[in-house]
Chains A and B, each alone.
Chain A
Amino acid sequence: MSLIPQRLANLTLLVMIICIPFIIYYLSKEKKLFLKIRRIAALDAIEESIGRAVEMGRPVHFTTGLAGITDVRAPMTLAGVSILSHVARLCARLNTRLFVTIGDATVLPLTLSTVREAYRVENAMDQYSDDIVFFPSGGYRQRIIQLLQDENCAANIMIGAFHGEAMLLVDGGYRAGAINIGGNPRIQMIPFFVVGCDYTFIGEENYAASIAVSGEPLELSYLGGQDIIKGITVIMIILGSILTSFGITFIQKILGS
């Protein structure tokens, strides 16, 4: 039983990353700490774009991306689904038409229940029908572009995991004269969203936004805990650089390099 010395820093950091969220959760549960998620431009843009759609009397399109909930991309899709509930509620409240497309059959039950629940909460079940959500099996890309064109959507919201096809969906929305709002944590795809979309969720902003709309206390405290770690890394880098400039390599030493 002996600790491998050069991994002490690693272990400490890991323990911190794991424990701090629980402390935050406890504090916020005890009302000792009040957490609030910062403004996320793209999230406000969603409401704005739906408002615009209502004014124009044109529908809204939402897609949860290519991935399902049975592989490593599941968290991205789930973030999309919880933002979908927000979008669906807005559409139900403002009484505008909504189209939801999914890229993988495994998401179908979840999305259906999410949308139905949203319409139920806004007691707008008269507007609800099961074909709001549909799964374009095969030719996901073409079908969505077709939909955007035919229904002449005013907002095209894409949140989830996207691959090569992202740019084409953006293009579809652009041609339909819709406001494009994209969200995708995969860094290789983000630039394509940034150049094409009017508003973009960058990386982790997806998860943050999904928590902001769902407002689960546990999730929120996890986010808060992560933020503390991020703060620590920022301080470490700046402090380390200042010290190093004076020839003190203290930070590097405690990080075991």
Chain B
Amino acid sequence: MSKNNRIWKKISKLDDRIILALLFGSVIVTQIFPVGLPLPIMDTTKWLYDGIEKYASPGSVIIIDNEVSPGLLYENGQGSAAVMTHIFRKPGIKIIITHFTPESPIMFSKLVDLKWLNIPDDKKYGEDYILMPYLPGIETAYAAVAKDLWIYEKDLYGTPLKDIPMMNEIKTLADVDLIFQTTISGGHADAAIRQWAQTYNIPFGWCLSAPMLPTYMPYVPSQAFGAIGGVPGGAQYELLIKKPGNAVSYSDSVSLIILLSFLMMVIVNISEFMSKTGGGES
């Protein structure tokens, strides 16, 4: 084979280290010299925002199903924090936060510690919002909670529910006006939309992981009014609620990385083609 041919072959077998070096470099550069390109806002994100604006009216009861898990904290942590912040800003609402993943109760406090989720001072624990403990058995647990919210004897901190004022008029899921779920697990997403949104037809919003978003599009907007996926969704949502957040500042780096990666894909394919056809003999 010719010399060019060998070069093409070398390029087509691009080395991991080169790619990683390029990516690292681009991240560092864009982090140090941010350009601040305007971030586009996808329709689904807008739908989620509008839906929450619409349904989180004063006097409404809202369930936030928080399934943020430590492994993918950076995947949908910021997105869910942004939406939660949006919900918490609404006046005169009661919020119940449920957990069906063993890790998620701690992750909620992690979101607060990281200052991603800021709870306004006028929202009092026990009067305006309550944290429920973990309940095992995904599909079963969702169904059980839907049938009777008082299946929890105590809240996360071990206070009996009957000593918590806001729970007096909330009995089953029929008293709930809006559900927001943040999850990276298909099992939880399916269970929630089946056992909660469908069975009691309650407005339902989603914060999923980036790969999950397209696969759950068939439910949007017919069964879930909106959805965001991964860090991009989080960044867009932070723009919408005008919360100068973390995710926004990454958009430059992500843009560059994506551009580079597609460029590399094209190069690899071309060089593979050339090396196959033994092209470039001159």
Residues of A bordering B, CB below 8 Å: 72, 186-188
The interface bits of chain B over 179-213 (1 if a CB of A lies within 8 angstroms of the residue's CB, else 0) are: 00000001100000000000000000000000110
Q: B215 near A: Cβ within 8 Å?
A: yes
A72 to B191, CA, bound (A): 14
Closest B residue to A191 by beta carbon equals: B211
Contacts of B212 in A (CB 8 A): 188
B187 touches A72 (CB 8 A): yes
- Would you mind naming 7 contact pairs between A and B with Cβ atoms under 8 Å apart? A72-B187, A186-B186, A187-B215, A188-B186, A188-B211, A188-B212, A188-B215
Closest B residue to A6 by beta carbon equals: B201
Min CB gap A53→B, angstroms: 22
Chain B: interface residue count, which band?
under 10
A187 to B215, CA, bound (A): 7
Closest A residue to B201 by beta carbon equals: A6
Closest B residue to A257 by beta carbon equals: B222
Contacts of B186 in A (CB 8 A): 186, 188
Contacts of B211 in A (CB 8 A): 188
Contacts of A188 in B (CB 8 A): 186, 211-212, 215
Number of A-B residue pairs having CB atoms within 8 Å of each other in the complex: 7
Contacts of A187 in B (CB 8 A): 215
Q: Which residues of B from 124 to 176 have beta carbons under 8 Å from A?
A: none
The A interface is mostly helix, strand or loop, or mixed, namely loop
> Which are the 3 A-B pairs with shortest beta-carbon distances?
A188-B211, A187-B215, A188-B215
Min CB gap A148→B, angstroms: 15
Min CB gap A4→B, angstroms: 11
A72 to B186, CA, bound (A): 12
Closest A residue to B138 by beta carbon equals: A72
A188 to B186, CA, bound (A): 10
A187 to B211, CA, bound (A): 9
Closest A residue to B187 by beta carbon equals: A72
Min CB gap B98→A, angstroms: 21
A188 to B211, CA, bound (A): 6
Closest B residue to A187 by beta carbon equals: B215
Min CB gap B155→A, angstroms: 30
A219 to B183, CA, bound (A): 34
Closest A residue to B210 by beta carbon equals: A188
Closest A residue to B265 by beta carbon equals: A195
Contacts of B187 in A (CB 8 A): 72
Contacts of B215 in A (CB 8 A): 187-188
A186 to B212, CA, bound (A): 11
Closest A residue to B139 by beta carbon equals: A72
**Which one of A72, A186, A188 has the greatest number of beta carbons of chain B within 10 Å?**
A188
Contacts of A186 in B (CB 8 A): 186
A72 to B137, CA, bound (A): 13
A72 to B138, CA, bound (A): 12
Min CB gap A171→B, angstroms: 9
A103 to B281, CA, bound (A): 47
A255 to B211, CA, bound (A): 31
Q: Which residues of B from 213 to 236 have beta carbons under 8 Å from A?
A: 215
Min CB gap A11→B, angstroms: 15
Closest B residue to A186 by beta carbon equals: B186
Contacts of A72 in B (CB 8 A): 187
Closest A residue to B209 by beta carbon equals: A188
A72 to B140, CA, bound (A): 14
